[in-house]
Amino acid sequence: MASGYRTGESRMGESRTGESKADENRMSEKGKTFVGFGFGPIQSGLFLYEASRSGNFNRFVVVDVDTELVDALRKNGGTYYINIARENGIDTEEISGVEIFNPNVPEDREHIIEAISQSDEMCTALPSVGFYDRGESANVARLIAEGLIRRWRRQPAVMKPTIVYSAENNNHAAEILLEGIKRKIGETAEIRGTGQIGEIGGTGQIGEIGGSYDYAYEDEAGLFDSLQCLNTVIGKMSGVIRDAETIEELSLAPFVPGVERAFLVEEFNKIYISRIRLKGYSRGIEVFIEKDDLLPFEEAKLYGHNSIHALIAYLGDVKGYTTIAEAGRDAWIMERARKAFLEESGGALVRKYEKLGDALFTDWGYMGYAEDLLKRMVNPFLHDSIERVGRDRPRKLGMEDRIFGTMRLALEYGIEPINLSLGAAAAIVSMIRRRDTGSKRELVFPEDTESWRYLSRREIANILYTIWGKSSGVGKSGEKKTERLAERLIDLTFEGYKVLKEELGW
């Protein structure tokens, strides 16, 4: 295993958790300021890491409510380590000069708001979009709103532009975040009372954000003309290793010495973001790729990357493997995955989006995308577990999610998703064996723990209709087409189940 420490170009060498506001202002004049919300592997191993590598930032601020994490990073002088899984080994890299604050601590909260008021680029990397508007002192939408208001007070004539990368796994994360920020600003009496911000009915531009949402807020103060929230498509695989034995086995560096928590990410950094519309704005993180419409790339991730990753996990699970790398060494599994990726997912997506003129949606472009991902997904240095990739099976078996959503798309373009149906069948077997009800508490599995060996079509149908619920259209007037589609998907899944039984000798 290769390892080594690398010094980043923008590293400051020491943390600045106790600086005065004047110090903060002076520092911000010398370069760009980055503010990140949440300090997991995506924030630390992608956004903050790329900001550091760019050489365009001189200040890095992180916001997190995990007291243990905040204290640990501070005790280590604002320096942390990430482990990067490459093709031939794992490298450990050091990022320094990071300030970290807990918004639940009043003094820290003041530093956060000041940093936001000085920020050039921000990133939310939270568990879900539900965390944008949760809580009081740690409410992310409120924090950003207060920072923007402070900036407006300081320079009402010419507002410094800022972008916010929304890194949560939601196609409309940016729209949801912006709406939350606007709502919090609208609740601020000082601003609301001016008649300038938060009043509905005007026509001022409110930061175009690459989605289909249309906002009509009067914005005479120009506050929102200087803010743009960006949607993202992040195909970077990452995780947190908390097991001391695994950390030692893989020779990983904890994110700070003495703490049983290690960030492990792949080196991939080809991230798609919404097209930036702020006049004259120049990104500090330059490696990301802007697109006018992210939907095709979001679908390539869900119906390509996510779909095939899940298929490998579920086929690997029913074959008794515990890691994706083990499944990747199984020729039968990888042949099914390759065919599903190229012929079923790719066959449909290329036909759907070929008129875009983007290289990804060509036969050769999608082939390169698929082959690259098939290699990356099974990288043994990622130490990715089948349970992590496959967890919450009921959600992932949703009618519009990665497995059946891709099967539906294939059928729409006249492609029989034979290989994907194997993944669907394996997911059901895996779900029954692990008694994984996820959020579908109404799911009831047979008492016989070996029932997965002899499932009937009717049993598979009952399970899927319980998962799909109303989305299947069954019993609803005017939804016969959807009902026929549901029955077709069930037929395919049952046929896949029979192939699995024969392959595995059940």
Spatial neighbors of 14 by CB under 8 A, at least 6 apart, are 77, 78, 96, 97
Phi–psi pair at 43, nearest 5 degrees: -65, -50
Q: What's the pLDDT tens digit per position in 78-106? A: 999 999 999 999 999 999 999 999 999 99
Asked whether the predicted pLDDT for residue 8 surpasses 90, the reply is no
Mean pLDDT is lowest, of 156-170, 231-245, 362-376, 380-394, for: 156-170
Q: Give the residue-averaged pLDDT of 377-405.
A: 95
Instruction: Give the residue from 106, 190, 179 showing the smallest Cα distance to 141.
Output: 179
Write down the pLDDT at residue 319. Answer: 97
Phi–psi pair at 251, nearest 5 degrees: 55, 45
Write down the pLDDT at residue 187. Answer: 82
Cα distances (angstroms) measured from residue 439 to each of 393, 396, 454, 467: 9, 11, 25, 10
Report the distance separating Cα 411 and Cα 404, nearest Å. 10
Asked whether the predicted pLDDT for residue 430 surpasses 60, the reply is yes
And the tokens for 58? Answer: 């001189």
pLDDT category at 210 given cuts 50, 70, 90 is: very low
And the tokens for 86? Answer: 């490459």
Q: What's the pLDDT tens digit per position in 291-316? A: 999 999 999 999 999 999 999 999 99
- CATH fold of the domain at 295-504: N-(1-d-carboxylethyl)-l-norvaline Dehydrogenase; domain 2 (1.10.1040)
Mean pLDDT is lowest, of 43-57, 223-237, 348-362, for: 223-237
pLDDT category at 29 given cuts 50, 70, 90 is: low
pLDDT category at 482 given cuts 50, 70, 90 is: confident
Asked whether the predicted pLDDT for residue 7 surpasses 90, the reply is no
Question: Looking at domain 21-190+224-291, what is its CATH homologous superfamily?
Answer: NAD(P)-binding Rossmann-like Domain (3.40.50.720)
Report the distance separating Cα 314 and Cα 316, nearest Å. 5
| Collapsed DSSP state (helix, strand, coil) of residue 240 | strand
Phi–psi pair at 44, nearest 5 degrees: -75, -35
Give ∠ CA 408-413-418 in degrees, rounded to 5.
Answer: 60
Looking only at the bridges linking them, the beta strands covering 162-166 and 121-124 are parallel
Write down the pLDDT at residue 1. Answer: 33
Report the distance separating Cα 26 and Cα 23, nearest Å. 5
Asked whether the predicted pLDDT for residue 191 surpasses 80, the reply is no
In 175-256, the DSSP E strands lie at: 197-200, 217-219, 227-233, 238-241
Torsion region of 198: left, alpha or beta (phi above 0 gives left; psi -120 to 50 gives alpha): left
Quick check: 463 and 424 in contact, CB under 8 A? no
The full set of domain ranges for the chain reads 21-190+224-291, 295-504
Quick check: 389 and 377 in contact, CB under 8 A? no
Q: Give the residue-averaged pLDDT of 441-450.
A: 84
Quick check: 28 and 118 in contact, CB under 8 A? yes
Mean pLDDT is lowest, of 277-281, 327-331, 427-431, for: 277-281
Mean pLDDT of the chain: 87
Q: Give the residue-averaged pLDDT of 181-205.
A: 53
Asked whether the predicted pLDDT for residue 472 surpasses 70, the reply is no
Write down the pLDDT at residue 98. Answer: 98
pLDDT category at 212 given cuts 50, 70, 90 is: very low
Using a 10 angstrom Cβ sphere, with 0-12 exposed, 13-18 middle and 19 or more buried, the burial of residue 295 is middle
Mean pLDDT is lowest, of 52-66, 116-130, 369-383, 439-453, for: 439-453
